[in-house]
Amino acid sequence: MQSGRAAPRAPGAHHVCRLLTRRAYGFYARDAGVAHRTNLALLRQMICQESTKFKNVWTTHSASPIAYERGRIYLDNYQCCISSIAQEPRILYQKPKCSKSEKIEDALLLECPLGEMLPSPSDYKSSLIVLTIQNWLLRLSADSGEVLEKIYLTGSCCKFRYLSWDIPQEVMVVKSAQNKLPAAARQAGIQQSVLFYLAVFQVLPLSFIGMLEINKKIFGNSVSDVAVSNGILIVMHSMGLVRLYNFQAILEQFMEQPFDLGREFNWNGQVGVVGKYPFGLPCNIKITDIPPLLFEASSLENAFQIGGYPWHYIITPNKKKHKGVFHICSLKDNTLAKNGIQDMKCCSLEPDWIYFHPDMSGRIIHVGPNLVKVLKLKEVKNNTDQMEIAEDFTIVANRENCVNNTVTVTASGRVVKKRFNLLDDDPEQETFKIVDYEDELDLLSIVAVTQIGADGRAHLDFHCNERGILLKSIPLLESWDVTYSHEVYFDKDLVLHIEQKPNRRFSCYVYQMVCDTAEDDEWVMASNLNRSLGSI
């Protein structure tokens, strides 16, 4: 006889039920994402603790540019690749020196997409897309330099020079240099109507979408440059005008015929194989009429940015006297946000700069010689239709607001003091040179420089991205000359400084995290943790 009471659950059964329910909503304590975030939180904590140092473990010099991409240092025009994810950088591959005709003009790193079936095992590993001076597009293994794919773009009609992302890690754009006729042809009255060529590819697997011309008969005689980003064709004009068009709509409306790489084609009397020498790629997108305009704005030097929530854009009024003044306006109706005119009133040789925060928070970063302002958009009180710009936090350089005195003594012995104000970016005062964001550790990194005489000193500061609090400061040991070009990368437990000196001399300094100089075991543990993060 049954009592009517429910049978008792097996031990732990209610925990299993709760776990399955949480997992259905995306919560699972042992999935890769949770483990990755936990490891990153531990790494951030280790980096910011007082005992942690950054040690200069490797330095190299080169007569050619040095590039860095996700733990790999490239030398000798990408012929030598060095892994920086180790206690000391090591060579991944060294290829024979290439001829001038094989020179690489630009490169992009491709990383495997998650959750997709790919046709080739090599597609599941990182690779490097490079563009050569002879219009070849090559996909190389990032670990060995082996050529995985080879595409010929076109013959002598143009020279392709630039690689960029339309949609990061999904759609790639190859852009030509601007077509210019020789002086003799111009004197003969020959007209050049095609200014740029754009070739568009889907990546991993690499497939050809189409090629199009930017023709001044369609877009106007004043076109100075063009770009594609996030599905938008951006056309810039010499008088500061920026016009936006729907790029996907252009592809759909003006594509005459789709083509697949490696397939034979018969196009305008030419017979060949798509992507093979000597035919290359057909120009299969012919824009015959001006596309519908999405948006236009006039800005000094074509400086134009979109971001924030709701959507806003940043411009500088198109007059030289307004250089350094930024207007933040609503994309919906072009209205200026309340407090939307940002002007640091800098008296400096180098201008301040502004951009939307890359952390997708919708905030804005405004950088001057001695200030980093993080701004936010918020609704105006009692007016939900308008947004205002408010200060989230400010980071101030460590300097004194002093007025320098020069002392002269007259022949009669009278002391005369002349007072003058230093420039805001005077090298003898601490000045912000580089501001970046480390997305995996959620840290703002700021390079601050002070130069006394010929000897300049720099330090890299890590600030809390939410509140701006200084968490860590790392001195860079090498001298920093403010007249040289510098790049600084902060990538998890690695700091890398690339310097370009006069006469095309390049130097690279690599720093790695050391938890305590007397505790090598902790350094090894930190390195192993970073390698495990890099493999996820």
Q: What is the pLDDT of residues 66-110, one digit of tens each?
A: 999 999 999 999 999 999 987 788 999 999 988 888 899 999 999
For the segment 277-296, what is each residue's pLDDT rounded down to a tens digit? Answer: 998 999 999 999 999 999 99
Q: Is residue 468 part of a domain?
A: no
Q: How far apart are CA 325 and CA 421, in angstroms?
A: 22
Prior bond of 121 cis (ω within 30°):
no
Helix (H) or strand (E) holding 64: none
Q: Is residue 402 part of a domain?
A: no
Amino acid of residue 332: K
Q: How far apart are CA 215 and CA 223, in angstroms?
A: 9
What is the sign of the dihedral through the CA atoms of 284, 286, 292 and 295? positive
Q: Is residue 210 part of a domain?
A: yes
Is residue 480 within 8 Å of 457, Cβ to Cβ?
yes
Q: Is residue 110 part of a domain?
A: yes
For 188-202, b/e burial (b = at least 16 CB within 10 A) is: eeeeeebbbbbbbbe
Q: 426: which residues sit within 8 A by CB, 6+ positions away?
A: none
What is the per-residue pLDDT for 100?
A: 85
Confidence category of residue 394, pLDDT binned at 50, 70, 90: very high
For the segment 247-278, what is each residue's pLDDT rounded down to a tens digit? Answer: 999 999 999 999 999 999 888 888 889 999 99
Confidence category of residue 17, pLDDT binned at 50, 70, 90: very low
CB atoms within 10 A of CB 377: 22
Is residue 165 within 8 Å of 173, Cβ to Cβ?
yes
In the block, tokens 């890299």 appear at 460
Confidence category of residue 44, pLDDT binned at 50, 70, 90: very high
Confidence category of residue 408, pLDDT binned at 50, 70, 90: low
In the block, tokens 């473990």 appear at 57
Q: Is residue 157 part of a domain?
A: yes
Q: Is residue 527 part of a domain?
A: no
Q: Is 102 exposed, middle or buried (0-12, 13-18, 19+ CB in 10 A)?
A: middle
Q: Is residue 282 part of a domain?
A: yes
In the block, tokens 């400010």 appear at 394
pTM here is 0.84
CB atoms within 10 A of CB 313: 21
Number of domains in the chain: 1
Is residue 380 within 8 Å of 338, Cβ to Cβ?
yes
As a residue count, the chain comes to 536
Is residue 448 within 8 Å of 435, Cβ to Cβ?
no
pLDDT higher for 385 or 536? 385
Q: Is residue 414 part of a domain?
A: no
pLDDT at 476 over 60: yes
Q: How far apart are CA 220 and CA 37, in angstroms?
A: 50
In the block, tokens 């002598």 appear at 156
Confidence category of residue 427, pLDDT binned at 50, 70, 90: confident
For 121, the token pair is 């095992």
Q: What crossing angle do the helices spanning 32-48 and 520-535 adopt, rounded to 10°?
A: 140
In the block, tokens 């005689």 appear at 221
Q: Which domain covers residue 106, as residue numbers? A: 98-298
pLDDT at 531 over 90: no
Cα angle for residues 488, 490, 496 (degrees, 5° grid): 50
pLDDT at 533 over 80: no
CB atoms within 10 A of CB 155: 11
Closest CA to 212 of 253, 255, 182, 171: 255
Cα angle for residues 69, 74, 80 (degrees, 5° grid): 140
Mean per-residue pLDDT, 367-386: 91
Confidence category of residue 381, pLDDT binned at 50, 70, 90: confident
Alpha-carbon distances of 85 from 444, 495, 512, 515, 529, rounded to whole Å: 22, 11, 9, 16, 11
What is the per-residue pLDDT for 315?
A: 97
What are φ and ψ of residue 459, in 5° steps? -140, 150
Amino acid of residue 193: S
pLDDT at 24 over 60: no
For 489, the token pair is 């990368």
Walk across the sheet containing 443-452 and list its strands.
431-438, 443-452, 455-464, 470-476
Is residue 306 within 8 Å of 331, Cβ to Cβ?
yes
